[in-house]
Structure 1
Amino acid sequence: MDLGPGRRVAPPRFVLRGVSEKNREGKRTARERLAVEREKQKTADRRRRTLIVGASVVCVLALAAVIGVVAANAGKDDGSEEAGPVVAPSGALGKDGLAVPVGKESAKSTLTVWEDFRCPACKSFELAYRPTLHELTESGQLKIEYHLVTLIDGNMGGTGSRNSANAAACAQDAGKFAEYHDVLFDNQPPETDDAFADNAELIELAGKVKGLDTPAFRGCVEDGTHNSWVAKSNEAFQKGRFPGTPTVLLGDKNIYQDRTMTPAKLRKMVEEANQQ
């Protein structure tokens, strides 16, 4: 406003104050928006952490469940755990009826043999000593107590050791154990071939033993009647801490570990023991 020469009036200050207030309001609004955004981000971060922790817990629980299942099933392939009652074969002897006897009960000397029908070393022992063992058992000088083991199932996988042992126990029910025992070793597959897991193969081999392939024998093999008994025999082997299969004991001496042992030496040992 012009009041004359040399006199001026400054513009009203309310205009400047209005702009300043608007600037302050804008800044305040921006800070508030920033605060809101930061709070939203914190909330999102907390939610994400919660989800990560929750997922981690689920993963841990799932892993624990898997480990539990694996642990629960560990050892089942080797026949160490079999469901059902333990049915010993006819005439089985010893603690828990785990020994299958061959030979005359009156024989003074006893040979205890732990064998696996899938075990190559067991086959080698049987083929080398079979004539002598037959001679000594048939003459009444020696009785043999066979204990059946599933060591190869446990080491290589499969069920051939168990199934063939069950079939041999079924043959014992029919009074044909010794003959079928020899047939199984004569027809043993390679160690890595689980052919004895096939019950049809075991039944076919029974045809080599006169009078063994009967409906009763077939049912016993197919039903796994003695599977739990085989498992119990294998447990006894493990508890005995034997070095492996075959384990062949004459008294307390493991003759299979004696590198100087021969069929002739075994015959002499039996004869000398019987004279005492």
Structure 2
Amino acid sequence: MSEKNREGKRNARERLAVERRKQKAADKRRRTLIVGASVVCVLALATVVGVLAANAGKSGKSGASGPAIAPSGATGKGALAIPVGKDSAKSTLTVWEDFRCPACRAFETAYRPTIHQLVDAGQLRVEYHLVTLIDGNLGGSGSRSAANAAACAQDAGKFSGYHDVLYDNQPKETQDTFADNAKLIELSGKVGGLDSPAFQKCVKDGTHDSWVVKSNAAFQSARFSGTPTVLLGGKNLFEDRTMTPAKLKQMVEAAGKS
């Protein structure tokens, strides 16, 4: 065998060895990612279970007492839904949300323009259910206080605008900024006609706190996996990885033509 051929074979073996080392490294990284993802999923599931257990355990220690006073115009079983849109709309979007929840804000950011468009066109009605998962998970009372303030805004006929302001000014998940009534009242100044003595008293008194606790208990009983839970015709849109605002619009418009 010539020296040239031997050199060629040696180079080929070396290249093969290099490729095998790269493949082993890639396989190791892939196994690490799979294991890591599995751990994250397990931890996420444990967190959800922990949140539900924490909330259930705190139901009697929530700081809310007295009768559950529903906000004006609340509908559905137990009057736990705040409706936005016309009753005549052929499609109803049911949203379970927490004002401290980053994923809820992400949903809002992506879908709000489309939802507003469909609501304004009379094609979609939205029923909002307010829950307090983050309070149970990280402590604090910002979820409940913000939900109470939103219910107070509903009493004033300003829910939709204040709802959007809360998400636009959502603090970091670990910061319980919404527990401060003064902050919630300050934000009401961004919604024309909302900041009034009646609204301020409703916020400070926690008028709808017990109603929020009742709403959160209904969420737990339904055994939803987390917030936001967004349902259209019984289908959880947030769990549909193919869902987009455009697809939601198509579904609602198709229902309107049927």
TM range (shorter): 0.7 to 0.9
- 1:196 equivalent to 2:178? Answer yes
The change in CA–CA distance for 1:171 and 1:78 in structure 2 (over 3 A counts) is farther
- 1:261 equivalent to 2:243? Answer yes
* TM superposition score normalised by structure 2: 0.77
- 1:98 equivalent to 2:51? Answer no
Q: For residues 140-163 of structure 1, what are the alpha-carbon distances to aligned partners after superposition, in whole Å with 9 as ceiling and x for unaligned?
A: 000000000000000000000000
Instruction: Tell me the amino acid that sits aligned with residue 119 of structure 2.
Output: T
> Which runs of structure 2 are paired with 1:31-50 in the superposition (5 Å)?
none
Q: What runs of 5+ residues in structure 1 fail to find an aligned partner? A: 1-70
* TM superposition score normalised by structure 1: 0.72
Look up the match of 1:124: 106
Q: What is the DSSP-based 3-state SS (H/G/I as helix, E as strand, rest coil) of the residue aligned with 2:66?
A: coil
- 1:75 equivalent to 2:58? Answer yes
**Offset, 1:92:** 0.2
**Offset, 1:118:** 0.0
On the 8 A contact 2:59/2:213 being kept in 1, the answer is no
Q: For residues 50-96 of structure 1, what are the alpha-carbon distances to aligned partners after superposition, in whole Å with 9 as ceiling and x for unaligned?
A: xxxxxxxxxxxxxxxxxxxxx9x9414984x7310110000000011
Instruction: Tell me the amino acid that sits aligned with residue 74 of structure 2.
Output: A
Look up the match of 1:272: 254
Identity of matched residues, %? 71
**Offset, 1:135:** 0.2
Instruction: Tell me the amino acid that sits aligned with residue 58 of structure 2.
Output: G
> Which runs of structure 2 are paired with 1:1-276 in the superposition (5 Å)?
74-76=57-59, 79=62, 82-276=64-258
RMSD: 1.6
Structure with larger Rg: 1
Look up the match of 1:59: none
Aligned equivalents of 2:234 and 2:205: distance in 1?
37
Look up the match of 1:11: none
| Displacement over 2 Å in runs of 4+ | 76-79
